[in-house]
Structure 1
Amino acid sequence: MLKLLSALVATLLFASSLCAEELFCLNAIEKGDQGARPVRCRVGETDPLNLKNNTDINSVMELFGLDPTTIVFKGCEGLGFHTYGTADSSGAKYLISYSSEANEKAIAAVIHELGHVVQLNYYGGYASLLKRYPSIRIELGADYLAGIAYKLVLNEKDLKGFEQNIELAGSYMPSSINDEHGNPSKRNQAFRLGVFDESNSQSAAKLHQNFQDNRYARIQ
């Protein structure tokens, strides 16, 4: 879930990640209009699912044209799926956080987050991206890119299970006025537009642009 809630979040997106520097990683989990709770990661816990070396994740990064050295992963129990800007000492530009409790189910949600990295790279950062599209279009664009990834490199996985696991990135609350991810129906539609898209030869960034220009309007 790309945090698109306020100028404060915009600042956090490009600030050094607390996860890399502090003894504990604190992260707020949004649940519609309800309050947030802090999550503490165990000391020394960085990437417990070893996503950096995960074959599926690396295949998608290659498909999306992403440089693996610019992305680091941070996981712990209860941590949300988010994409942050980071000033990591290794030279990484982005930090993707995830819940280690999700185990293999985390893969689909992390690929949604990699879609956000595509967006941030192409549009030149958070501020430019948000000026171009409202939150829900950004989130559905990431779901669409996850569908592209499924079709081209992950199609041996169960389609329905993968589709459901994407929803780990974000939580939908029917009572929430400002839902930024879209309801499950819209997310499924965006994902399947990617799965059944016939435009295989374009870059991920160009496919995303085509989704926003020509395919988003199909979602009801």
Structure 2
Amino acid sequence: MLSYSLRRRRIILAAGMCYFCDAQAKMQADDCLFSQATSNASAQGCTGDTLNLRSQPQVRFVIEEVSARTTEIELRGCQEAPFEVVSLRTPANRFRINYPIARNVGDDSYIAPITHELCHVQQIRSAGGILQLRQTVQNSSARIELGADFLTGVLYKKYLEKVGAGGQQRNLRQFQHSLDLLGSYRSDEGSHGGPVHRIHAFRRGFFFQEFQRPLPELHDYFQREIYGNII
């Protein structure tokens, strides 16, 4: 899920649903990327990195791979929140990742969703901003979300290669199952995405033979050559 704060307005792409909220007026559905609008806040009861996810070796690895300094990434646990990335205006070039802490899952199950959100950071940085990212994918939430799932698979493969983890198939099944925490999404193109599409994108990334190519190149390749075979 991807979100963007702009003064008193907020754009959120979460599970394929767009929320465009204004402090003075509720936007119409046509003003959203998809067919829902709401003025509800997305995250409540947030503190610091409650689960200490930053200490996880894989999270540190992914932050390094997306070329972000650790000071640019803020992790926050929230009593009520979707997994989301907020691009902060002040200070510039910083990102806040909110995650829910009221789920009955182990800490390890958060690694896949957090990796997915960090892949959104990669997408934003590579495009030059959230609005530019939306333009490059024709305002398609499905393209953004599945692109992040693809990169998540790539980075998981790179991490296993680095640490020499055994039992890759077992680890792969556990990791991709954790992506279910992100939920499904609805595409603005009339098609419906869900767990099957997310898993397909993730596995295409994991088994991509040229996974060592730079992430921006891999993302572009996914959009050109792979996305149309998934949706």
Tell me, yes or no, whether TM beats 0.5: yes
Post-superposition offset of 1:56: 0.9
Query: 1:2 — aligned with what?
Result: 2
State the distance in 2 between where 1:180 and 1:77 align. Answer: 32
SS of residue matched to 1:41: strand
After superposition, where does 1:108-123 map in structure 2 within 5 Å? 108-123=112-127
State the distance in 2 between where 1:193 and 1:184 align. Answer: 14
Post-superposition offset of 1:33: 7.0
Post-superposition offset of 1:109: 0.3
Query: 2:59 — aligned with what?
Result: 57
State the distance in 1 between where 2:62 and 2:125 align. Answer: 15
State the distance in 2 between where 1:127 and 1:181 align. Answer: 23
Percent identity, please: 30
State the distance in 2 between where 1:123 and 1:79 align. Answer: 26
Post-superposition offset of 1:210: 1.2
Q: Which moved more, 1:148-157 or 1:194-203?
A: 148-157
RCO higher in structure (CA 8 A, sep ≥6): 1
State the distance in 2 between where 1:11 and 1:142 align. Answer: 15
State the distance in 1 between where 2:89 and 2:159 align. Answer: 30
Post-superposition offset of 1:67: 2.1
Q: Contact 1:99–1:106 at 8 Å: present in 2 too?
A: no
After superposition, where does 1:1-220 map in structure 2 within 5 Å? 1-3=1-3, 8-10=9-11, 40-41=44-45, 45-87=47-89, 93-100=94-101, 101=103, 102=105, 103-133=107-137, 134-154=140-160, 156=165, 158-169=171-182, 171-172=183-184, 182-220=193-231
Task: Structure 1: state its 5+ residue gaps.
Answer: 13-31
Q: Residue 179 of structure 2 aligns to which amino acid in structure 1? A: I
State the distance in 2 between where 1:177 and 1:213 align. Answer: 17
Post-superposition offset of 1:49: 1.2
**Closer, same or farther in 2 for the Cα pair 1:41/1:141, shift >3 Å?**
same
1:131-169 CA deviation, whole Å, 9 max, x = no partner?
111111000000001100111104746211211211212
Q: Contact 1:78–1:99 at 8 Å: present in 2 too?
A: yes
**Closer, same or farther in 2 for the Cα pair 1:160/1:65, shift >3 Å?**
same
Greater share of strand: 2
Q: Residue 133 of structure 2 aligns to which amino acid in structure 1? A: L
Post-superposition offset of 1:53: 2.4
Task: Structure 2: state its 5+ residue gaps.
Answer: 14-34
Post-superposition offset of 1:37: 8.0
